Amino acid sequence: MWKALPKCAQGVIVAPKCQHGTVRESDVTYRDLICEEVQFKGHNGDMGNAYYARPKGDGPFPGVVFIHHLPGWNEVCIEAARRLAHHGYSVICNNLYFREGEGDPDDIGARMRAAGGISDEQMLGDVAGAMAFLRAQSNSNGKVGVMGYCSGGRHTYLAACRLPGVNAAVDCWGGRVMAPAEALTAKQPKAPIDFTKDMNCPMLGIFGNDDKEPDVAQVNKTEEVLKQLGKTYEFYRYDGAGHAFFDWNRPSYRVEQAVDAWGKVYDFFARHLR
Amino acid sequence: MCSYITEKAQIFGSAKGKKGWMAVDTAVIYYDHPVHVPLDHALNIDFVDSRSKERVAVELSAASARELIKRIQAALDHGESVHLGSTEAQDPVRIHAL
């Protein structure tokens, strides 16, 4: 559903509320966490490393695969995994670049960028493996969502369409969900939007209206396709925000919009994964 | 969104990285979200040794990058005039886009 964007007193438009005191974190938080690096079985049975964060205790906990972005398996994504764990989820953020070996995440990310990234098929195999890892744990409630920023958002969209067993998906400003023919490559041979008919889980979309990739027209088009195909989705679009507005250590950070949108994420996952 | 759109050039040179000096044979250039410089977008250059996969990275504002282009050209023009003509013939690698 599309929500109207009311304007708040400061002139910043956020969806759907921006009065102080109306934005809150999830009611349920878990201060005791267990966070560790684990091994998981990915595409083609390859064994890779992953960050695994979950609340202390027997559960049952819903699972989330947090799909890292193009720049790599870095702190921003690891932190998002820990954040979701704090709110009661068993979260795995698997290293999509493990086949490149050890190294600083930004160095490996730069190398992968120069190589044209990883293939969509490999990514899907790795995410399927991460989902299986979560469901195999004794603390699992059997449900698993996927979430990602930027290219991780694009990957989330693909996973929602192409992987069985995804119970909910959160696409944060995933670009190139639509892609012109000239943008398609051997590694990314088909635009995610073309798989939309196969989407079999609810989708939450978080977007900044100042973003150029995806821009407002692209988000409109994505929404149009979701609506035409009768998919269950919620899109929230924020004025005064562009790309990567969750990144607290970057100039793109927008505190009010980010806090509100995280609230949307907690609410969405609670409704579909608990 | 971060993209895989890059320019690449074969180069001959050295760069000083985490482990000291090293040969670099490839430059990867892209305008996208940087890791460190406090900008939404930057002109990023990775000077890479393709054998060890080590790199030396710089992230520049667009204006800085354009100024650098001009200053590099000026330095080459001045240097070649002082050092008796073009040095290109001595260069082991004729720079070109990969």
Nearest residue in B to A74, CA atom: B35
Residue A1 belongs to a domain: no
Burial A143-159 (b: 16+ CB within 10 A, else e): bbbbbbbbbbbbbbbbb
CB contact under 8 A, B40 and A113: no
Residue A145 belongs to a domain: yes
SS3 for A44-110 is: HHCEEEEEEEEECCCCCEEEEEEECCCCCCCHHHHHHHHHHHHCCCEEEEECCCHHHCCCCHHHHHH
CB contact under 8 A, B1 and A251: no
CA A57 vs CA A17, A37, A90: distances in Å: 35, 18, 11
CB contact under 8 A, B6 and A117: no
Q: What is the pLDDT along chain A (274 residues), one digit of tens a residue?
A: 333 343 333 333 344 443 333 444 456 788 899 999 999 999 999 999 999 999 999 999 999 999 999 999 999 999 999 999 999 999 999 999 999 999 999 999 999 999 999 999 999 999 999 999 999 999 999 999 999 999 999 999 999 999 999 999 999 999 999 988 988 999 999 999 999 999 999 999 999 999 999 999 999 999 999 999 999 999 999 999 999 999 999 999 999 999 999 999 999 999 999 9
Residue A177 belongs to a domain: yes
ipTM: 0.78
Residue A4 belongs to a domain: no
CB contact under 8 A, B57 and A214: no
SS3 A118: coil
Interface of A with B (CB under 8 A): 69-71, 103, 106-107, 110-111, 113-114, 116-117, 150-151, 153-154, 173-176, 185, 213-214, 242-244, 250-252
Query: Domain range for residue A198?
Result: 33-206+246-254
Residue A41 belongs to a domain: yes
Chain A CB contacts of B53 below 8 Å: 103, 111
**Parallel, antiparallel or unpaired: strands B42-48 and B20-32:** antiparallel
What would the DSSP string read from start to end of chain B? Answer: ------EEEEEEEEEEETTEEEEEEEEEEEEE--SSSSSSSEEEEEEE-TTT--EEEEEE-HHHHHHHHHHHHHHHHHHHHHTTS--GGG-SS--EE-
Residue from the list B1, B8, B38 with its beta carbon closest to the beta carbon of A243: B1
The CATH number given to whatever domain includes residue A56 is 3.40.50.1820
Residue A56 belongs to a domain: yes
Nearest residue in A to B33, CA atom: A71
Q: What is the number of domains present in chain A?
A: 1
Angle in degrees, 0-180, between the axes of helices A151-162 and A120-136, rounded to the nearest 10: 70
Residue A109 belongs to a domain: yes
Residue A136 belongs to a domain: yes
- Residue A246: CB partners within 8 Å, gap ≥ 6? A76, A80, A149, A172, A253, A258, A261, A262
CB contact under 8 A, B28 and A113: yes
